[in-house]
A and B are shown apart, each in its own frame.
Chain A
Amino acid sequence: MIEIKDLHKSYKMGSNSLHVLKGINFTVDEGELVAIMGSSGSGKSTLLNILGMLDVADSGEYNLDNVPIKNMNETKAAQYRNKFLGFVFQSFNLINYKTALENVALPLYYQRVGRKERQEKALKYLDQVGLKEWAEHLPNELSGGQKQRVAIARAMAAEPKVLLADEPTGALDSTTSYEVMDLIQKINDQGNTILIVTHEQDIANMCKRIVHLKDGVIIEDKKIKQVRAQQYV
C-alpha cells in the first residue's frame, strides 16, 4: 500500500539547515496497523505529513497504492488526499462553526457527493463512532474524546485507503485514549490500513507493528502482538 525509498527532508532555519529525515525506507501492506514511535524531534510527524501529502520530501520515492507521489501540483495533491487519505490530528481540527454532522460530511462535499447522500453517509459514520445523538452539536459542545471520534468519523467518511493519525490520543486522558484506540482497532479489523504517530508505549502496543524513529532514521521495525484496548474500556 505504502512504499518509501530513501526519503530525505530538511528544513531551513535561517542560515542553518535541519536535516530531519535522513533516508527512510519502509513499506506498509494493506490492513496493517502501524505505530510510528520516537521522541520529539525524531522526525515522526514530518514523515506522517509527507505520507499525507501535507508536506513534500526533498528526495526519495513514495508510492501510494502503486501511484508515484511526485511533482504534484496542489490541485492534484488535494484530489489524492481526498480520495486516498484520511487524517486524524492531535488537536482534532474540527471546523468550529460546523456541527458534528457537517464536519463529517465535509470530505464528501469535496468528493462532490450529493447533499442528501452526504448527510446519510455522514450520519452512518457518526453512528459507527457512537455519536449519532450528537450529530447536531457544535464541536465546543463535545468532550475531547467525542471530538476525536467525530474527527475519526470524518476521516473515515471519505473511505480512504490509508488513515493517518498524528498523536490521536495526545490531548486525551488514558480512559478516553483507550476508547479512541478501541475505535481505531475496530476500524482496522474491517481491513483499513492505519498509521499512528505516538510517543506513548501503551498506545503503540495496541498496534500490530512498531516502527521506531531516532534522529531521522529507522532504528527498529518489528511486528508485535496486539494489545486489545477493549479490555481497558
Chain B
Amino acid sequence: MFSRDSWKEIFETIQKNKLRTFLSGFTVALGIFIFVVLYGFGNGLINTFDEFFNDDATNTFFIFPGRTSQPYKGYKSNRQIEFDNSDIADIEKNFAIFLEYVSPRVDRSGLVKYKNESNNYTTRGVSSSYQYAEKTMIMKGRYLNRKDILNKTKHAVIGRLVERDLFGIEESIGEYIDISGSVFKVIGVFQDDAGDDEERRLYIPYTTRQLIEKNTDKINQIVLGFKPEIGYTGAMAFERSLDKFIRDKKYISPDDRNGIYIRNVADQLKQNQQFAGVLQMIVGFVAFGTIIAGIIGIGNIMVFVVKERTKELGIRKALGATPRSVIGTILLESVFITTVSGIFGMLLGIALLSSLGDTLKDFFITNPYINMGTAIFATVILIFFGGLAGYIPARRAAKIKPIVALRDE
C-alpha cells in the first residue's frame, strides 16, 4: 500500500486535480489554524487575567479601617476606625504562628523635587517587610531595612518612573530629594510588574513619616503576610479570627460590614482561578467545535471527491483495481493532503500567535500561545477523523459494481 508506485500515483492525482486538492487542504488548514489561534487567544486572555490579579503576593491580607454603621457596646454609629502602632504589636503577639510579616502602610501624596525637576507622587510609609507584599523588585541600591525603621532614617526607595522623571539619565542613588519639604536620601530604585502607577511611588520608613507628622503613632492600613504552609483553609480560618480580634479590640459589631474590611488575596486568587478555569473551558469548547466542524468539512469534501471520481473508479475497477486498492488510493490521498495542510495550518497559527505578542493587549489578550502538545494532538485528531471520514465514502465506492460506476456521468 505504501510502495513508491502508489505514492507516485497519488502525487500525479494531486497534481492534476489542483482545485480538489486545494479545497480539501484549505478546509483542513483553516480548521487547524482557527483552532490554534482561538486556543492561543484563550491562553492570552488567561495571561491578561493573571497579570491583573497576580501582581501581589498571594499570601497577603490588606486590612482597611472604615466608618462604623452600627452602634456597638456604647459606641455610636458612624465612628471612624483608626489603626496605630499598638495594633501592629498586638497582631504580631497574638498571631505569631500564622504570621510571616506584618507592615503598616501610610500613604501621603505630595510634591517631590530634585534640582529643577518636580512632580506629584504618592509616598508610602512602610516597614522593611512590605517589599514581599507587593513583590517589589529592586533594580539598584537596596530596599528599606530594619535599621531604617528603628532609627527613623530619611531614606527613600523610588520607583523606576520617578527616577526617570526626576533624574533623567543621571545617577539617583546617594542623591538627596525633597519630599513635601523634608530631604530624603535615595537608597534604591525599584520596578513593579503592575505597571506605571506602581512605579510612580516612593517608599520611606513609616516611622519617619510618623515622626514628620508630629510624632503620631497612627497608621492608615495594615498589610500582613501569612505563612504559605497554612494553606487555603488555614488562611480562611486566620482571616476569621483576625477579623474577630480586631472587631473586639476596636469595639465594632460582628455584623457591621463597614467597620473594617480585610482583603484576602488568597481568596480572591481562588475565585480568579475558578473564573480562569471557566474561561479555559469555554475556549476549549469552542476549539473542540472548530475541530468537529473541520472533520465534517473533510467528510463533505471526501463524499464529493468520491462522487466526482465514481466513473474513474469504475474504469480502474474494470482494469483490475481491487476494492482494497480503490480504498487505499482515496484514503492515502486524503490522509496525505490532510497531514500536509494540517501541519501547514498549525504552523501558520503558531507563527501568527508568536508574532502577536503584546499587540492585542488592548483587547485583553497578552502573549497568546498554544503548547506544542495541544497543537499536535489536535492536528493528529483531525488527520485521524479526516481519514475516517474519507474511509466511509471510499468503502462505499469500492463496493459499487463496476458496471454501475461506469454508467455514472
Contact = CB atoms under 8 A, between A and B. Distances in A.
A78 B323 contact: yes
Interface stretch (A14-22, A107-115, A120-128, A167-175): A107-115
Interface in B3-27: 4-5, 8-9, 12-13, 16-17
Interface string B134-166: 000000000000000000000000000000000
A188 interface: no
A79 B320 contact: yes
A83 B322 CA distance: 12
Contacts of A94: 315
B211 interface: no
Nearest to B400: A74
A78 B5 contact: no
B399 A74 contact: yes
A78 B17 contact: no
Interface in B282-334: 311-312, 314-325
B17 to A, nearest CB: 7
Given A54-B406, A93-B406, A74 B315 contact: no
A81 B319 contact: yes
Contacts of A78: 317, 320-323
A89 B320 contact: no
B237 interface: no
A87 B311 CA distance: 15
Given A89-B406, A93-B406, A109-B5, A83 B320 contact: yes
A101 B123 CA distance: 88
Contacts of A83: 320
B403 interface: yes
Given A78-B323, A109-B5, A115-B8, A93 B401 contact: no
B398 interface: yes
A107 B8 contact: no
A52 B373 CA distance: 53
Interface residues of A, number: 27
B322 A87 contact: no
Given A97-B16, A97-B17, A106 B403 contact: no
A158 B399 contact: no
Interface centre among B315, B316, B324, B406 (most CB of A within 10 A): B315
A94 B315 CA distance: 8
Interface string A69-102: 0000011001101110001010001110110001
Contacts of A54: 318, 401-403, 406
B323 A74 contact: yes
A220 B388 CA distance: 53
Interface centre among B5, B311, B320, B399, by most chain A C-beta atoms within 10 angstroms, is: B320
A110 B318 contact: no
A42 interface: no
B403 A154 contact: no
A109 B9 CA distance: 9
A49 interface: yes
Contact of B319 (A74, A110, A115): A110
Given A93-B406, A97-B16, A87 B319 contact: yes
A202 interface: no
A106 B403 CA distance: 19
Contacts of A79: 320, 322
Contact of B320 (A82, A93, A102): A82
Most-contacted residue by chain B among A52, A83, A106, A115 (CB, 10 A)? A106
B403 A49 contact: yes
Given A78-B323, A93-B314, A154-B319, 6 more contacts: A54-B318, A75-B324, A87-B318, A89-B406, A115-B8, A158-B319
29 contacts: A52-B318, A54-B402, A74-B323, A74-B398, A75-B323, A75-B324, A78-B320, A79-B320, A79-B322, A81-B319, A82-B320, A87-B318, A87-B319, A89-B406, A93-B311, A93-B318, A93-B406, A94-B315, A95-B315, A97-B13, A97-B16, A106-B316, A110-B321, A110-B322, A110-B325, A115-B5, A115-B8, A158-B319, A158-B320
